[in-house]
């Protein structure tokens, strides 16, 4: 065999080996890539009760809860993957003064909680959070579910299992599988990805008012995902925020949009 051909085959073999090694690394490390739980914890905030609830697989999860005024719905807030439940308190600080209750839900493996995060596990965590509210006398119909970023996957699943008063998704994806495929077109992500969070498949069957919020400068999850979800629901309300990125949930404009949406629901309910 001529030397140039041998060199070419060697280069091709090396490239294939490197590619397979990268795929192996992605497969083995995907949980830490999808769920980068913060190592630096947000400082505790006042006004919230520290509560614990047990999941169906036996984990005791610590979270934060603040009861609302009588007659007001309670918000259950599922945060993004790089945050913790205290960030949910900050993201609802304009809603609490208006009388809404808030359960700042937490996940396994976050903020010192036991367990390792994964899709089925986070769904179990969400169900445990809703069950906790039930022990406080709060029915699903009196709950507004809010999900930010990867929390949108938990929020959509919970809304598909329960019948909440409303569903709010902030910077959501149509599906994690789709998003990762868009980011890594060179890899067979459909085969590699274990956690998928198929929001688009589930959202069509959810019978609850839907608010979608997204920033058009979001480089992590493009606003095309919220636009895709809106097209699946004729009754959805979509608000696009000019110049806002993936930190939209902590901007006053986002909270004001949620508040306006909830007040509209309150008025509609009082008129019936």
The pLDDT tens digits for 87-131 are 999 999 999 999 999 999 999 999 999 999 999 999 999 999 999
β-partners of residue 212 are 169, 238
pLDDT of 136 > 50? The answer is: yes
**Res. 46 pLDDT band, cuts 50 70 90:** confident
The pairing of beta strand 101-104 with beta strand 237-241:
unpaired
β-partners of residue 54 are 60
For helices 119-135 and 151-161, give the axis angle rounded to 10 degrees: 60
pTM tops 0.85: yes
Neighbouring residues of 130: CB distance < 8 A, sequence distance ≥ 6: 76, 140, 143, 158, 162
Sign, Cα dihedral of 24, 113, 52, 57: positive
Look up residue 255 and give its two tokens.
Answer: 């909270």
User: Residue 9: which H helix or E strand, with range?
Assistant: helix 3-34
- The residue that leads in pLDDT, 239 or 42, is 239
Lowest mean pLDDT among 21-25, 31-35, 213-217: 21-25
Neighbours of 5 (CB within 10 A): 9
**Res. 160 pLDDT band, cuts 50 70 90:** very high
β-partners of residue 234 are none
Lowest mean pLDDT among 17-31, 34-48, 85-99, 189-203: 17-31
β-partners of residue 144 are 75, 166
User: Residue 78: which H helix or E strand, with range?
Assistant: strand 74-78
Backbone angles phi, psi at 107, to 5 degrees: -110, 160
Neighbouring residues of 4: CB distance < 8 A, sequence distance ≥ 6: none
């Amino acid at each position: 065999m001529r030397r140039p051909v041998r060199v070419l085959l060697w280069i091709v073999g090396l490239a294939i080996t490197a590619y397979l090694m990268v795929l192996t690394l992605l497969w083995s490390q995907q949980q830490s890539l999808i769920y980068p739980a913060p190592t630096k914890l947000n400082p505790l905030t006042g006004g919230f009760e520290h509560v614990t609830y047990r999941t169906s697989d036996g984990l005791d999860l610590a979270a934060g809860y603040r009861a609302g005024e009588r007659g007001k719905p309670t918000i259950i807030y599922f945060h993004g993957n790089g945050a913790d439940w205290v960030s949910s308190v900050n993201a609802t600080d304009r809603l609490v003064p208006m009388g809404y209750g808030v359960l700042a839900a937490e996940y396994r493996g976050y903020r010192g909680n036991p367990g390792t995060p994964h899709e089925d596990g986070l769904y179990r965590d969400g169900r445990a959070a809703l069950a906790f509210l039930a022990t406080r006398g709060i029915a699903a119909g009196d709950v507004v579910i809010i999900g930010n970023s990867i929390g949108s996957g938990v929020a959509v699943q919970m809304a598909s299992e329960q019948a909440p008063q409303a569903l709010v998704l902030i910077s959501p994806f149509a599906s994690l599988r789709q998003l990762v495929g868009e980011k890594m077109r060179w890899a067979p992500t459909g085969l590699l990805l274990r956690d998928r969070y198929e929001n688009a498949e589930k959202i069509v069957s959810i019978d609850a008012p839907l608010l979608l919020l997204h920033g058009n400068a979001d480089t992590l999850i493009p606003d095309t995902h919220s636009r895709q979800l809106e097209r699946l629901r004729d009754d959805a309300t979509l608000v696009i925020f000019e110049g806002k990125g993936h930190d939209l949930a902590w901007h006053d404009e986002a909270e004001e949009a949620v508040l306006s949406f909830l007040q509209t629901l309150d008025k509609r309910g009082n008129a019936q």
